[in-house]
A and B are shown apart, each in its own frame.
Chain A
């Protein structure tokens, strides 16, 4: 079975609002987590990453939160824009394992 998964398959957001995308993982040995954005017909695009020794990391308009106690990862997008419409995947990497394990993804649709 999958060790990484997302809580909701779809998310509809009003333009300008903040988005929160959630992800649960089950492998406590994972020590590196990444959020990817995938637009139709394209490969996954790196958004932000976080290591297990951190609980929060901020980028441009995005924040990733890691709660190791409950094995939960979230991606917050501030002031969601139409260009943010895509499928978002969380992925995990086991320590020294190098390969990524992806969840099924959340499709984010931004309403004008």
Chain B
């Protein structure tokens, strides 16, 4: 499968614990995005990387959230001291920005439940 992959697919954690999610984009895609989706809503932008540089962060990304893409390939999203309001689907997408090709390909998401 050459699409975007995310791990784990599901995560249940207790409030106050830290969690880390991984995203593997489509090979050679230079842009990687993180979105959050709550039930019944469309995805909301969190942050994006071009290669290894994090170029933009949403106001939704509090200081408990941190994202990295150390080698410009896979990315991790860490949430520290999780809260019940963090329960959501966390989606990763990637794209190859060239000649006006903007299409973002999404992964299956990681569903986080904070108890």
Q: Which residues of A contact B (CB under 8 A)?
A: 4, 32, 34, 36, 41-46, 49, 89, 91, 93, 98-105
Contacts and interface: CB of A to CB of B under 8 A. Distances in A.
B33 A99 contact: yes
Interface of B: 4, 31, 33, 35, 40-45, 48, 55-56, 58, 91, 93, 97, 102-109
Nearest to B46: A99
The A interface, classified by DSSP as helix, strand, loop or mixed, is: strand
Nearest to B44: A102
7 contacts: A42-B109, A44-B91, A98-B97, A100-B43, A100-B104, A102-B44, A104-B40
A43 B4 CA distance: 10
A32 B56 contact: no
Contacts of A49: 102-103
Contacts of B108: 41-43
Contact of A34 (B41, B91, B103): B103
Which of A4, A93, A99 has most B Cβ within 10 Å? A99
Given A43-B107, A98-B48, A104 B102 contact: no
A100 B45 contact: yes
B48 A99 contact: yes
Which of A43, A99, A105 has most B Cβ within 10 Å? A43
